[in-house]
Amino acid sequence: MPELPEVETVVRALRQTIIGQTITGVDINNSDRIFPDKNEFAALLHGKKFEGVKRRGKNILIDLSGGHTLWVHLKMTGHFYYLPITDPIAKHDHIVFHLNNNGHNLRFNDYRRFGRLRIYRTDEIMQQKGLVELGPEPLEITSEEFVNLLSSRRRMIKPALMDQYFIVGIGNIYADESLYRTRIHPRRLTNSVSKPKLRELHGHIQKILKRAIKMMGTSVDTFAGVNGQPGKYQKYLQVYGREGEPCAKCGQAVRREKIGSRSAHYCPRCQKEPRNW
């Protein structure tokens, strides 16, 4: 699933391509994951202008004229593509936004069909279930706020970092990479980590996320930007997806195991297994 850097990459590209453009029509080729129903969804979008695009965690919020917001979650394989209208409609282009522009349209493509697009009143959007409960943004939370958040809980640190109600936008990739750089085992309990170590973790999370955004995200599966180009940060991953490869620091084989309901990649020598779980 795209994480914060990948979603931020999409948001920035959408700002550059669709802001100020008007939707002249909408083709809905699959309506499984939209709200409201197909006819009302299309009617609400017709004639609306794209006025702003922002991110909240892994969610994309596209403000429209007339006081409505299009709320998009890419889920596992959702993509926005901004393409010439002469390009053939692909099998998994489920929604096509026709625009009053220079011969391009905006397409929502999703071959696994988990992505969601919903329309709400802008003044009500942040109160919707799935947004109102979200935790703080990792690039906005201060070091001390981060320390207090983690030290006040007793949870395994990897699942905690991935809990969107705890802190938003971090998934498997960036949790694994941040914990590795801080030499914290993914099973370590949050309230057992020293405050200096938590401050170090906070610094690594922010540094890694910022660098990944600069490199337009990580493409390890299907992620691609609005222009169809993959991200570049995968070249710098040190543990994620490197099971069995030697640790760059000590040479020990990187291990992958299930923690909670998700896998974790770590170095068993650099990230010592805790005794408190």
Task: Clarify whether 2 is annotated catalytic.
Answer: yes
Taking domain 4-127, whether its CATH number is 3.20.190.10 is answered by yes
**DSSP class of 88:** P
User: Which pLDDT score is estimated for 101?
Assistant: 81
CB atoms within 10 A of CB 267: 24
pLDDT at 277 over 70: no
User: Which pLDDT score is estimated for 152?
Assistant: 95
pLDDT at 183 over 70: yes
Provide, rounded to the nearest whole percent, the portion of the chain with pLDDT above 90: 88
- Could you give the CA distance from residue 240 to residue 248 in angstroms, rounded to a whole number? 12
161 and 173 Cβ atoms separated by less than 8 Å:
no
111-115, 129-133, 160-164: least confident range:
111-115
User: Which pLDDT score is estimated for 222?
Assistant: 67
**Paired tokens of 235:** 């070249």
**DSSP class of 81:** E
**From 48, 55, 58, 107, active-site residue:** 58
pLDDT at 254 over 80: yes
CATH 1.10.8.50 placement within the chain: 143-266
- Could you give the CA distance from residue 148 to residue 151 in angstroms, rounded to a whole number? 5
**From 262, 268, 269, 274, active-site residue:** 262
User: Which pLDDT score is estimated for 229?
Assistant: 83
Indicate the pLDDT class of residue 12, thresholds 50, 70 and 90: very high
250 and 258 Cβ atoms separated by less than 8 Å:
no
What's the half-sphere exposure (Cβ side, CA atoms, 13 Å) at 43? Answer: 5
- Could you give the CA distance from residue 214 to residue 229 in angstroms, rounded to a whole number? 14
User: Which pLDDT score is estimated for 271?
Assistant: 97
pLDDT at 108 over 80: yes
Q: Where are the beta strands (DSSP E) in 41-135?
A: 50-56, 59-64, 68-73, 78-84, 93-99, 104-110, 116-121
**From 2, 5, 138, 159, active-site residue:** 2
Average pLDDT, integer, range 82-105: 94
CATH 3.20.190.10 placement within the chain: 4-127
Average pLDDT, integer, range 220-238: 84
**From 3, 6, 177, 200, active-site residue:** 3
Average pLDDT, integer, range 70-98: 95
Q: In terms of pLDDT, which residue wins out, 276 or 9?
A: 9
Sole residue written with tokens 């030697």:
246
Task: Clarify whether 3 is annotated catalytic.
Answer: yes
Average pLDDT, integer, range 265-276: 90
Average pLDDT, integer, range 201-205: 98
User: Which pLDDT score is estimated for 240?
Assistant: 96
pLDDT at 90 over 90: yes
Q: Of 3.40.50.300, 1.10.357.10, 3.40.640.10, 1.10.8.50, which CATH number belongs to 143-266?
A: 1.10.8.50
The model's pTM is 0.94
User: Which pLDDT score is estimated for 69?
Assistant: 98
Task: Clarify whether 262 is annotated catalytic.
Answer: yes
